[in-house]
């Protein structure tokens, strides 16, 4: 591989969840440490790295499509190479080389030392030492606090590709948040596939305790956490949201289905009654809390009546936002052994029904804020008109009709609202 006199350049491409975003950022730092420049555009790059997702077939298809484009990119200049990591690497491993002959490396994102050592040998003389990364202008950062998942939801591949739960220590997390804040970050999102099963490996401190420790980091303005499992919802967590000044009033609590029979087939380990009680508690303890959820439509055997259960749950709860996906069978999961028997057209119709119902609900909820004061963390300015925008504590995107500096926290009155965003002045 010929890289010339300059540091070899890496182009990072990513799909999937927030955990992949955090992994991609950590990879960029590892590349910089060994002397590779990780911020390259594809056309300037010597090495392309794909950080992949396997949660639905669509995510895998995106990576396959990208690999198709990269085959041409690789041929256009000698010495170029392609590496794949992330959840498809964990799922398919070395079998990917037969499917994608253009691929040079497949590596484990959690154990990248061996891969980094190979790159160091390969680029040899072209590598002069750590490449300084430009000071980030990042205001928000993702901080993984627990890896893996011990649940076994029957549709889900995550436990297979991410392994068993492993929590990081409170001190380690607090130290990382401290470094991020020194670098200009004012908001962190504590991450885990099942974040509310977090426990410090030594002291047993739970997520509420971790949040209290993170709250003590001077200079931090906001903290959030993703993704909670309904069966680990605790009174202590709701109390933490209410009490801690940095804790934002937002709970993302995936329900997946509004039918008990479907939830049983999904092995979600809670009933709708229990789920509703958690939401009732959340709204009682933190009245201004925003609630969001994930829904799967067209799961194996989902009847018209079961789907109607989901629609009526959405009408009853009135979530602020809903992420909906059509069921996608994943090889190796328990549900893969059941027939995927809801026809594609029906899945699509159910998906559209959820989207259109939720659009009305989100719009109504946002419009109920007209005239109210919201706290906005200003994140940037619109590319076209330079208007400042940011998010409220409830995570609503808000455009400001007045001057405000990114990084500042302002209070503004809501003057307009759609299903997707607020305007405040
Ligand atoms: N740990 C989180 C997120 C898991 S993956 C949780 O428990 O909710 C993110 C979302 O993808 C899930 O909430 C689910 O709605 C969706 N999902 C997971 N597997 C899926 C599959 N096989 N088909 C369709 N959607 C799926
Ligand atoms: Fe998947 Fe269920 Fe674990 Fe979420 S809780 S990652 S849906 S197995
Ligand atoms: Fe996808 Fe892996 Fe996240 S499968 S959703 S990138 S944990």
Question: Which CATH number applies to 140-367?
Answer: 3.80.30.20
Match 């390969």 to its residue by tokens.
Answer: 122
Q: What is the spatial distance between Cα 217 and Cα 183, in angstroms, rounded to a whole number?
A: 13
In this structure, are residues 265 and 233 in contact, taking their beta carbons and an 8 Å threshold?
no
Ligand 2: which of 87, 146, 153 to mutate, judged by most atoms within 8 Å of the beta carbon? 153
Classified by CATH at the fold level, domain 373-424 comes out as OB fold (Dihydrolipoamide Acetyltransferase, E2P) (2.40.50)
How far apart CA 425 and CA 416 sit, in angstroms, is: 9
Asked if the domains at 10-126 and 140-367 fall in one CATH topology, the answer is no
- In 10 A of CB 232, how many CB atoms? 18
pLDDT confidence bin for 289, thresholds 50/70/90: very high
Confidence (pLDDT) at 92? 97
Q: Can you point out the beta strands (E) in 350-408?
A: 373-381, 388-392, 397-400
φ and ψ at 344, to 5 degrees?
-50, -40
pLDDT band for 5, please (50, 70, 90 cuts): low
**Residue 285, CA distances (Å) to 95, 124, 288, 313 in order:** 50, 59, 9, 21
pLDDT in tens, 126-179: 677 788 776 677 899 999 999 999 999 999 999 999 999 999 999 999 999 999
At 222-281, the pLDDT tens digits run 999 999 999 998 999 999 999 999 999 999 999 999 999 999 999 999 999 999 999 999
Convert the pLDDT of each residue in 349-374 to its tens digit. Answer: 999 999 999 999 999 999 999 999 99
Q: Please give the Cα distance from 366 to 399 (Å, whole number).
A: 13
What per-residue string of b and e applies to 376-404 under the rule 16 or more CB within 10 Å gives b? bbbbebeeeeebbbbbbbbbbebbbeeeb
- pLDDT grade for 1, boundaries at 50, 70 and 90: very low
pLDDT attached to residue 406: 93
**Residue range 407-411: average pLDDT?**
95
Q: How far is the CA of 405 from the centre of ligand 2 (A)?
A: 39
Which of 25-34, 65-74, 198-207 has the weakest average pLDDT? 25-34
Quote the CA–CA distance of 250 and 255 in Å, as a whole number.
15
Residue among 317, 270, 312, 271 at smallest CA distance from 293 = 317
- In ligand 2, the atom with minimum distance to the C-alpha of 227 is 4
Q: Could you tell me the distance, in angstroms and rounded to a whole number, from the CA of residue 73 to the centre of ligand 3?
A: 26
What per-residue confidence (pLDDT) applies to 135?
67
User: What is the CATH number that goes with domain 10-126?
Assistant: 3.40.50.12160
pLDDT at 3: 43
Closest-CA residue to 296 (of 356, 255, 342, 353):
255
Residue-level pLDDT at 367? 98
The residue among 272, 207, 252 whose CA lies nearest residue 17 is 252
Going from N- to C-terminal start, the domains of the chain cover: 10-126, 140-367, 373-424
Angle in degrees, 0-180, between the axes of helices 235-243 and 207-215, rounded to the nearest 10: 10
Ligand 1 atom nearest residue 328's Cα? 23
* 103 vs 83: CA distance, rounded Å: 6
Total-model pTM: 0.95
Q: Is the CB of 256 under 6 A from ligand 1?
A: yes
């Amino acid at each position: 591989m010929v890289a010339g006199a300059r540091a070899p350049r890496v182009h990072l491409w990513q799909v999937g969840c927030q955990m992949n975003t955090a992994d991609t950022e950590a990879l960029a730092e590892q590349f910089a440490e060994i002397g590779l420049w990780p911020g390259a555009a594809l056309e300037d790059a010597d090495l392309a790295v794909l950080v992949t997702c396997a949660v639905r077939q669509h995510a895998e298809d995106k990576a396959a499509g990208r690999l198709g484009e990269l085959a041409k990119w690789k041929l256009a200049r000698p010495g170029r190479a392609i590496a794949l990591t992330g959840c498809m690497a964990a799922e398919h491993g070395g079998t990917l080389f037969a499917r994608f002959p253009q691929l040079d490396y497949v590596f484990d994102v959690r154990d990248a030392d061996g891969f980094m050592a190979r790159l160091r040998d390969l680029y040899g003389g072209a590598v002069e030492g750590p490449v300084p990364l430009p000071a980030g202008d990042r205001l928000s950062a993702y901080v993984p606090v627990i890896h893996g998942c011990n649940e076994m939801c029957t549709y889900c591949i995550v436990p297979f590709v991410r392994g068993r739960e492993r929590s990081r220590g409170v001190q380690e997390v607090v130290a990382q948040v401290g470094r991020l804040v020194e670098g200009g970050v004012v908001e962190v999102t504590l991450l885990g596939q099942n974040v509310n099963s977090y426990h410090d490996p030594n002291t047993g401190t739970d997520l509420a305790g971790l949040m209290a420790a993170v709250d003590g980091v001077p200079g931090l303005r906001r903290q959030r956490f993703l993704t909670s499992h309904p069966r680990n919802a605790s009174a202590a967590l709701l109390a933490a949201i209410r009490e801690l000044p940095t804790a934002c009033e937002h709970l993302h609590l995936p329900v997946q289905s509004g039918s008990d029979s479907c939830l049983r087939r999904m092995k979600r380990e809670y009933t709708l009654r229990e789920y509703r009680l958690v939401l009732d508690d959340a709204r009682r303890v933190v009245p201004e809390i925003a609630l969001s959820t994930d829904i799967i439509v067209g799961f194996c055997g989902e009847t018209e009546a079961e789907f109607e259960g989901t629609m009526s749950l959405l009408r009853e709860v009135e979530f602020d936002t809903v992420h909906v996906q059509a069921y996608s069978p994943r090889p190796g999961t328990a549900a893969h052994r059941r027939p995927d028997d809801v026809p594609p057209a029906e899945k699509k119709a159910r998906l559209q029904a959820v989207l259109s119902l939720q659009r009305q609900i989100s719009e109504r909820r946002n419009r109920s804020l007209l005239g109210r004061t919201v706290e906005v963390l200003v994140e940037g300015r619109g590319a076209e008109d330079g208007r400042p925008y940011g998010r409220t504590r409830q995570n609503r995107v808000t455009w400001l009709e007045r001057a405000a500096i990114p990084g500042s926290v302002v209070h503004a009155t809501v003057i307009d609202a759609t299903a997707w965003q607020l305007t405040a002045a």
